[in-house]
Amino acid sequence: MALLEVRNVSRSFGGVHAVNDVSFAINEGEIVGLIGPNGAGKTTVMNLISGLITVDKGEIFFQGQPLSGLKPHTIARKGIARTFQIVKPFQGMTVRENVMIGALFRADAAGLKRTHINDIVRETLALLELEARADSPVEELNLAQRKHLELARAMAMQPRLLLLDEVMAGLNLKEIEKLMHLVRRLNERGITILVIEHVMKAVMNLSHRVLVMYYGGLIAAGPPEEVSQDPRVIEAYLGKRRQKGPVKEVQQ
Ligand SMILES: Nc1ncnc2c1ncn2[C@@H]1O[C@H](COP(=O)(O)OP(=O)(O)O)[C@@H](O)[C@H]1O
Ligand SMILES: [Mg+2]
């Protein structure tokens, strides 16, 4: 059984078919990349999975159970955590306090001892290399550190599925490489990951499989080397990209 299954899902906004009859499955342990030009419907797919918006048609299953009608906090407690394209730490709090909120949000948080919660926070801060900034107010973090915090908050919930929406955006090459390393490390700890990313080399390097969206539809899915040679993908995505000029790439 797939960990996540999106089955014939559609969602419109007014006349815009943001997501149009999209189906895919994600298996436990995978890193799956979700790519496509701006406006293709990628973030909407994540919003649908995490319950921020509802589907018009179709159904999403997590561990075989339908998610329809469930509120975002219920879906989060089932084991799906996410980051946002625009990072949104809780202002006026420290890094540690932000991560603590993630830990307290766990399904079993109410039954956990305070020391155990503190252990989770400490481990998560170490995992995302934020220990040195643990007691800094979030306002003092630079963009790369805020991205690490965004991941730490999600990881503190100890999810089974992590949804990452453009965590690399705005970072320099060194910071991107660091974040790629961290994402791989999270995956090695058993977390299944769906990652939306514009930095092509990063998503192609990280992902076991890649899904390509174009105007709300899924136009290709498969291993990165296969998808990158698919003529529809080259036309839809790389063709479009070429018109916009060069993009940042990670050197191997
Ligand atoms: N809440 C919303 N209200 C109205 N239109 C939206 C909303 N969310 C997304 N859209 C539209 O749906 C389409 C897909 O958007 P989005 O999923 O954000 O694309 P991507 O993440 O691939 O750039 C776009 O045309 C966008 O303007
Ligand atoms: Mg988006």
**Tokens standing for 159?**
């999810």
Sheet of strand 192-196: strand arrangement: 80-82, 161-165, 192-196, 31-35, 209-214, 217-222
What is d(CA 139, CA 136) in angstroms, rounded to the nearest whole number? 8
CA dist 68 → 6, 71, 106, 148 (Å)? 11, 9, 21, 30
Per-residue pLDDT, 245 = 45
Is 236 buried (19+), middle (13-18) or exposed (0-12) by CB count in 10 A? buried
Q: Which of 10, 16, 20, 166 to mutate to test the pocket of ligand 1 (most atoms within 8 A of CB)?
A: 16
Query: Which atom of ligand 1 sits closest to the CA of residue 44?
Result: 17
Per-residue pLDDT, 105 = 83
Residue nearest to atom 1 of ligand 1 (CA): 13
4 C-alpha to center of ligand 2: Å?
20
Ligand 1 within 6 A of CB of 25: no
Ligand 1 within 6 A of CB of 22: no
Per-residue pLDDT, 247 = 45
Nearest to 42 by CA among 213, 200, 162, 208: 213
- Interval 178-190: pLDDT, tens: 999 999 999 999 9
Domains of the chain: 1-79+160-252 (3.40.50.300), 91-158 (no CATH)
